[in-house]
């Protein structure tokens, strides 16, 4: 059976993981290469690296990080943050990334999805959607959740699939950092509207919420950040719990 994927996400700024500063049990404080190796050993199914530095220099450093990780960790790697052109995508993929995530640039220039899919294949184009709720609907935000594009998030997911995206990384801005659980309604609506995999992101506080994301939200994968970085749970703990709840994990 196809397993539900558990994907640690590392937010990186100038080569340092920014949410991981309290990761103190291990001597891995903020080092993305060491953290990637640690999560790989814990049983991570993929790894996602997002550059939040949003500058050319910061992105270049992240690409060097991914290059190092890909020489030692043999699971799928996704890179995102500030990728604006097919040349940016190529650089990320050549460094050892298997997939690239695009968010703001896809909204500003939807043809980037198609161009990327045509050159590199749909399977490596991840459409990242930062969604926030207003009056019963969800809207896609740009620039790290600062600007409302005015585009309906569900319509955008469908459009993204049509344009050639191979997967959707769905982040709820409302839930992000709350530990209240994933936005199940949003996740279920998006997952039910497209025929490509959907990764639920934002709001994870405990493993039961991941079970809900899969069973209620119909997510194909769950993204985790601070929950792991702060050492509250290991991936092994989470997988054990999911298995008990009859969710297939690796």
Partner 1 sequence: MIAIIDYGAGNLHSVKKAFNHLEKDSLIAKEVKDLNRADKIVLPGVGAFGSAIEKLKESGFYDVTYNWLSENKPFLGICLGMQMLFEESLESKNIKGFGIFKGKCPRFKKGKVPQMGWNQINITRESPLLKGIKDKSFFYFLHGYYVEVEDPDIIRGTTDYFITYTSMIEKGNIFGVQFHPEKSGEIGLKMLNNWTEAC
Indicate whether 64 belongs to the interface with partner 1 (CB under 8 A). no
Min CB(5)–partner 1 separation in Å: 5
Question: Can you give the length of the chain in residues?
Answer: 250
**DSSP label of 2:** P
Angle between helices 32-42 and 56-72 (to 10 degrees): 40
Contacting partner 1 (CB under 8 A), which of 56, 57, 109, 121? 121
Helix (H, G, I), strand (E, B) or coil at 125: strand
Indicate whether 178 belongs to the interface with partner 1 (CB under 8 A). no
Q: Partners of 137 in the beta sheet?
A: 134
Catalytic residue flag (residue 51): no
Which among 11, 45, 88, 183 is annotated as catalytic?
A: 11
Min CB(1)–partner 1 separation in Å: 6
Instruction: Answer whether 210's CB lies under 8 Å from 244's CB.
Output: no
Instruction: Answer whether 214's CB lies under 8 Å from 207's CB.
Output: no
Token pair in block for residue 39: 């999560």
Query: Which CB, 70 or 234, lies closer to partner 1?
Result: 70
Catalytic residue flag (residue 45): no
Active site residues: 11, 130
In the complex, the residues that contact partner 1 under the rule CB under 8 A are 1-5, 40, 45, 70-72, 74-76, 93-94, 96, 98, 120-124, 166-167, 195-197, 220-221, 250
């Amino acid at each position: 059976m196809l397993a539900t994927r558990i994907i640690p996400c590392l937010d990186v700024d100038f080569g340092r993981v920014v949410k991981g500063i309290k990761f103190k049990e291990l001597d891995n404080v903020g080092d993305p290469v060491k953290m990637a190796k640690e999560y790989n050993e814990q049983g991570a199914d993929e790894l996602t690296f997002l550059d939040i530095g949003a500058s050319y220099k910061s992105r270049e450093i992240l690409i060097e990080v991914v290059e190092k990780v890909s020489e030692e960790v043999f699971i799928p790697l996704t890179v995102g943050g500030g990728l604006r052109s097919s040349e940016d995508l190529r650089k990320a993929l050549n460094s050892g990334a298997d997939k690239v995530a695009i968010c703001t640039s896809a909204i500003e220039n939807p043809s980037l999805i198609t161009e990327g899919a045509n050159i590199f294949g749909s399977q490596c184009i991840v459409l990242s959607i930062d969604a926030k709720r207003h009056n019963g609907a969800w809207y896609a935000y740009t620039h790290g959740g600062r600007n409302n594009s005015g585009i309906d998030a569900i319509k955008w997911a469908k459009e993204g699939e049509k344009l050639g995206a191979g997967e959707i990384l769905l982040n709820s801005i409302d839930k992000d950092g709350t530990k209240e659980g994933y936005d199940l309604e949003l996740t279920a609506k998006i997952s039910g509207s497209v025929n490509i995999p959907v990764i639920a992101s934002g709001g994870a506080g405990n493993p039961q919420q991941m079970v809900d994301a899969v069973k209620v939200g119909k997510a194909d994968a769950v993204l985790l950040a601070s929950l792991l970085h702060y050492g509250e749970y290991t991936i092994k703990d989470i997988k054990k719990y999911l298995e008990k709840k009859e969710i297939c994990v690796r």
